[in-house]
Structure 1
Amino acid sequence: MDGTPQEITTLVGREVYSNNGVYVGEVEDVRLDLDQEVVTGLALAELNRELFEGRIQRGKGVLIPYRWVRAVGDVILINDVIERLKKPEDETEVAV
């Protein structure tokens, strides 16, 4: 992120991938802190079924913290922490 202001609406509809290239979902909405005028989270829909299977009801989305975002361009790249969800044997808590 280069610090250049962007219209928030430009985030909606962008695909989200982990740093490792795993598709996570598509931005449906953004969560804002109006006092600080910053984006605090991304609401994702069209989720990667394999990644979220058994954890999120079909038709539901997830909210990821914006601090996980590493780059915004044609797509949005986030930390690969999201991939920990794929391993049910790994009981590490991931707030989504």
Structure 2
Amino acid sequence: MDSEADEITSLVGREVYSNNGVFVGEVEDVRLNLDTETVNGLALSELNPQLFSQSMTGEKGVIVPYRWVRAVGDVVLINDVVERYENPEADEEIAA
């Protein structure tokens, strides 16, 4: 179990990129399901302001579902779902 714990804590501080190479944020914490002893999300901070506005995320950041993770190495690669997220405020400003 100690080696698994080391692997989980080694995620903290890694940069997260979409599979298209766009910087998303940095892993601040890991969300665990203690019943199944699995990782079910990554808490990101230092978010890319072009992807997330502060009004969408608050001051805390976002949690990315772990099922979006494609690969973990020197960086974490996730699906490009984040890039396709629509900003409702931007749509309202354009319509006004």
Q: TM-score, normalised by structure 2?
A: 0.79
2:12 aligns to what SS in structure 1?
coil
Root-mean-square deviation (CA, aligned residues, Å) is 1.9
The reply on whether 1:14 has 2:14 as its aligned counterpart is yes
By how many angstroms is 1:7 displaced? 1.9
Question: Distance in 2 between the 1:47 and 1:39 partners?
Answer: 21
Deviations 1:31-81 (A, max 9, x none): 001111110000000000110025223x32100100000000000000001
The unaligned stretches of length 5 or more in structure 2 are: 92-96
The answer as to whether partners of 1:52 and 1:86 remain within 8 angstroms in 2 is no
Residue matched to 1:55 = 56
Deviations 1:3-44 (A, max 9, x none): xx5621000000000000000000000000111111000000
By how many angstroms is 1:86 displaced? 5.6
The unaligned stretches of length 5 or more in structure 1 are: 90-96
Question: Distance in 2 between the 1:56 and 1:7 partners?
Answer: 27
Name the amino acid aligned to 1:45. Answer: S
The answer as to whether partners of 1:51 and 1:86 remain within 8 angstroms in 2 is no
1:28 aligns to what SS in structure 2?
strand
- Aligned residues, how many? 85
Q: Is the radius of gyration larger for structure 1 or structure 2?
A: 2
Aligned-residue identity in percent: 70
More helix by share: 2
Question: Distance in 2 between the 1:32 and 1:62 partners?
Answer: 15
Residue matched to 1:39 = 39
Question: Distance in 1 between the 2:56 and 2:17 partners?
Answer: 19
Question: Distance in 1 between the 2:81 and 2:33 partners?
Answer: 23
